[in-house]
Every structure is written in C-alpha cells, then in structure tokens.
Structure 1
Amino acid sequence: MDLKLQGRKVVVTGGTKGIGRSIVRMFTAEGAAVAFCARSQEGVDAEVSALEAEGAKAYGEAVDVSDKSALERFVSNAAEAIGGIDIIVANVSALAVGGDEESWKAGFETDMMGTVRLVDAAMPHLQKSDAASIVTISSVSGREIDFAAGPYGAFKAALIHYTQGLAFQLAGQNIRANSVSPGNTYFEGGVWNQIEAGNPELYADSLALNPTGRMATPDEIANGVVFLASPAASFITGTNLVIDGALTRGVQF
C-alpha cells in the first residue's frame, strides 16, 4: 500500500527512543521529512546524523515539551527547517504514576498541555496543508484501571477525549485527528525493560495478562501511528486505535 507520504512534512515529539524513534524512522522510510525533539541533545544529534546518513531529511532539537515557549520555538524552527508541517505526532509522556501532587503536575504539563500546545503551535501550518493530520499517543491505561491508575491513566484518557473533540471541530477544515493506545511495549532502556530488572514480579504479572504471551515492539505500534497519520487513512478521523495484542477486554463500539 502506498501511504502517500513522499515529500510530506512531519513533526514528532519524543523521537529518539522506543515508539517515538520507530515512528520517526518509519516516516523517513516512506519519504517524509521529519523534525523531532527529545530531552537529550546528544540523543537528538545522534539520530539526526544517522537519518541523514541514510539519505533522509531530518531536523532535531532538545526540548522540554512542558516548557510552552521552548515547544513553540521548536515548532516554528521545525516548520522552517523542513518546509512546513502536514502531520504532527504528540508522543511525549512524563510517565507519572505516583499519587503525589508533583506527579499530577508533571502529567498535566507534559502529557496534556504538551499535546495541546503542540497542536496550537502547529495549527497555522496544518491549516495550509492538503493532508493535515494529528495523532496523539494515549495508552491502554486510559481505557481501564491498572497499576498506572492516577495521573498517567487519567491524562491518557483525557487525551483520547481531547483528540476526538479535535476531529469533530476540525473536520470542516480537512484536518484529521486520531489517537493510538499502545499496550505494554518492550524495548531496551524502556520502562518495561526497567521493570523487568527492578520489579520482576510486576513484569511477570503484566506479561501473563497478555494472551499473546509477549509485549509489543515499538515498530508494531509505529506501524499503526504512521498509517493513521498518512493520506492513505484519509477518511479515518476521531478514532482511538488500540494496539495491545488483545491485552484489554473492554469492547469498543
């Protein structure tokens, strides 16, 4: 299937590790120009160099997405560097699972407002595109109560509501908006790799819940994200795509 991404301009937050890195690489493999950010300048520079060595057009910055001014500057710089914006993917999370007030603040500023501010900053560029698309990364923790109940689950649920609201509000402008809810996703250095080492009982219990007997790979999540974002999904808007290997049991009507 031709995803019709050749020459498209994409902005991704959190693009150097795990799911975000796979999303960036899949877009560039399809011929898109991609701008991305992450917290580490070293990590950003390494990814930009690797992508450019493969012939891709890439731009990156070290950005804390909870910093409104910094995020807005990044979006402006990204649009200039890659020649506009057709697609945005809001991927960053504070991974705040504690019940303390600081965790709630971190989840709100990073997961929720980091997404809202990305959309707002990119909107003037999206309005000029003939294939504008927004994808937000939620989680199965936004659908059901699990060990991440609290700020993480609450804000991931809010992202789904926010995104479906965008889909309705922006449909007349031909701007699509969808969310993706990954299940447990394993990669070296990721949260489940850390849990496997630091809390093997939780890891074993979580793994046992999935009838496939394994966790997702970042590429398996990115496949869904890139398809939903692409012009190939031109009439899909307002949906939440669950990619979890049948982990969750709630029926989506």
Structure 2
Amino acid sequence: MLDDTTAFVTGASQGLGREIAVAFADAGANVALAARSDGIYETEELIDEPERTLTVETDVTDSESVADAIEATADEFGGLDCLVNNAGIAGPTAPVERTTDEEWLETLDVNVVGIARAVREASPHLRESDRGSIVNVSSIGGKRPYPNRTPYAASKMGVIGLTRSLAFEFGRDNVTANAICPGPVEGERIRNAFERQAEERGIEFEDAKDDVLDTLAIHELVPPEEVAALAVQLAGSDARHVTGQDINVSSGGAWY
C-alpha cells in the first residue's frame, strides 16, 4: 500500500507512536523512528528490516534536532512523503488555578509548536513528493475536554486548528493534512492518566476508569492498532482527497 514511500514518525519510542511506525513498515514504507528516548531502538527491532528503518534521536522542542533528523531521513531514503506528528505529553492534571506558566508552556511547546517545527523542516520534501501527507495526532480531549486537563485540551484543539490551516497551505502542492483524534487508547499512558485523575479527585483507580468508559458509546478502550491503521490509510493513494479533517477513533466518545 505504501511501497516506495518514506514516513517520519515522531514519538516512535513507545505506545501509539510505536504502533504507527510498525504499521507503516508493514504497509511497505521506509520509516524514520524519531523520539528523544532510546525506545526507538526497541521499535526498530520489532520491525526487523534495517534497510527500511532509520532511528533518529529527535527532540521536537529543539529546532536543530528536528532539522537534522528530517535531513538525515531524506538523505537516507531519497526524500520524504509522510510526516506523522505523534509526539506529545499529557501535561498537568490539576484545576487550572493550580497550573503554572511552565506547565502550560511545556505542554504547548511539545504538543503544538513541536508539530510546527517538524512541518517547517519537512515542507520542501513533502511538496516535492507526488503523494505528500501530514498526519497529526490530536485527541478527543481537545473536543470534549476531560476535567483538570486544561493545558492538554488547549493544545489538542490547537492541533486541529493547525491541521486545518496546513491543509490549505499545502493543498496546491497536493499535500494532504489531517488530524486523528483518538479517544482513550489502551496502554500505559491511559493507565497513568486514570491514576492521576483518581489521585486528584480522591477516588479509586477503577472508578476513574469507569467514569471515562461510561462516556463512550462502546464501553472499551481504543485498540492502538485501529489508530495506526487510520494513519496508514490517510497516507495512502486512496485518501488523496481527504484533507483538513479531524477524524475520531474514540469508541464513540466524540461526535464532531
């Protein structure tokens, strides 16, 4: 499906980013595994095709780091066709009056400005591609925010606005830009989120989890492979006229 294409995946060291990177490789793409932790080497072992993978230690809050990683990818594979911006942080779990400037700035820097840095550096390569695509991972938390998560909610809604603007900036060069909005995805990250909510609200872990599941049409956490499959589809040739969209994979947790 993605033979002869190259994808750059941020946050590829664990969780959803790892799942997305493996899915792109399974679909035939060359994949650059970008993250600031050494988990990218574990992801590389899961793919086990060294000729089609490149590990690039990347900090999305550092412009030079991002530029070097993008250029290394283009040099290695002869170009870049898809940019998957998955790197992100949860930010603080607290009422807004107990959040700090530092927490706000860090959350926005990683979750929003980090995407802008990657797009800026990848833009010449994407515009040269005959199937360029940008896939940004947002969240339904930016559409129907969770309590005590204001920096995260603001950042993820910001990703949606950024994505819509990018769709028009890149459209004349036939580069698509879309956002995926996962609901609560199975894995360590959502378990940590439930633990923080339980602690903040003074309730049990299972009660915090059930409170979230009760808001979903399907009372199940989202399998990460379903999010990864959508990312692959959005990068493929059968989605060339899907752009400027924010698509939910949320067990029915958001409706727009």
Q: Normalised by the size of structure 2, how large is the TM-score?
A: 0.89
Give the structure 2 partner of residue 233 of structure 1: 239
Q: Say if 2:14 and 2:43, in contact at 8 Å, map to a contact too.
A: no
Give the structure 1 partner of residue 63 of structure 2: 68
Q: Give the residue type in structure 2 aligned to 1:38.
A: A
SS at match of 1:36: strand
- Is 2:42 the partner of 1:46? yes
Which residue of 38, 53, 59 maps to 2:54?
Answer: 59
* Residue 208 (structure 1) shift: 2.1
Give the structure 1 partner of residue 79 of structure 2: 84
Q: Return the alpha-carbon distance in structure 2 between the equivalents of residues 123 and 215 of structure 1.
A: 34
Give the structure 2 partner of residue 192 of structure 1: 190
Give the structure 2 partner of residue 208 of structure 1: 214
Q: Give the residue type in structure 2 aligned to 1:7.
A: D
Q: Return the alpha-carbon distance in structure 1 between the equivalents of residues 49 and 83 of structure 2.
A: 22
Q: Return the alpha-carbon distance in structure 1 between the equivalents of residues 25 and 208 of structure 2.
A: 36
Deviations 1:158-216 (A, max 9, x none): 111111111112211111111110000011xx222234566303222112222311100
Q: Say if 1:37 and 1:60, in contact at 8 Å, map to a contact too.
A: yes
Q: Return the alpha-carbon distance in structure 1 between the equivalents of residues 101 and 212 of structure 2.
A: 26
Deviations 1:89-121 (A, max 9, x none): 000112113422111111121111110010000
Aligned-pair identity in percent equals 28
Q: Return the alpha-carbon distance in structure 2 between the equivalents of residues 125 and 148 of structure 1.
A: 39
Q: Return the alpha-carbon distance in structure 2 between the equivalents of residues 95 and 195 of structure 1.
A: 8
* Residue 54 (structure 1) shift: 4.7
Q: Following TM superposition, where does structure 1 have runs of at least 4 consecutive aligned residues deviating by more than 3 angstroms?
A: 195-199
Q: Say if 2:217 and 2:253, in contact at 8 Å, map to a contact too.
A: yes
Gapped regions of structure 1 (runs ≥ 5) = none
Alignment of 1:1-253 (within 5 A): 4-41=1-38, 43-51=39-47, 53-54=48-49, 57-98=52-93, 99-147=99-147, 149-187=149-187, 190-196=188-194, 199=198, 200=205, 201-248=207-254, 250=255, 252=256
Q: Give the residue type in structure 1 aligned to 2:43.
A: E
Q: Normalised by the size of structure 1, how large is the TM-score?
A: 0.90
Over the aligned positions, Cα root-mean-square deviation in angstroms equals 1.7
In structure 2, do the counterparts of structure 1 residues 195 and 158 end up closer, same or farther at CA, with 3 Å as the change threshold? closer
Q: Say if 2:36 and 2:59, in contact at 8 Å, map to a contact too.
A: yes
* Residue 145 (structure 1) shift: 2.6
Q: Give the residue type in structure 1 aligned to 2:59.
A: D
Q: Say if 2:13 and 2:41, in contact at 8 Å, map to a contact too.
A: no
Q: Give the residue type in structure 2 aligned to 1:21.
A: R
Q: Return the alpha-carbon distance in structure 2 between the equivalents of residues 147 and 97 of structure 1.
A: 11
In structure 2, do the counterparts of structure 1 residues 172 and 8 end up closer, same or farther at CA, with 3 Å as the change threshold? same
SS at match of 1:88: strand
Moved more, 55-64 or 83-92: 55-64
Gapped regions of structure 2 (runs ≥ 5) = 94-98, 199-204
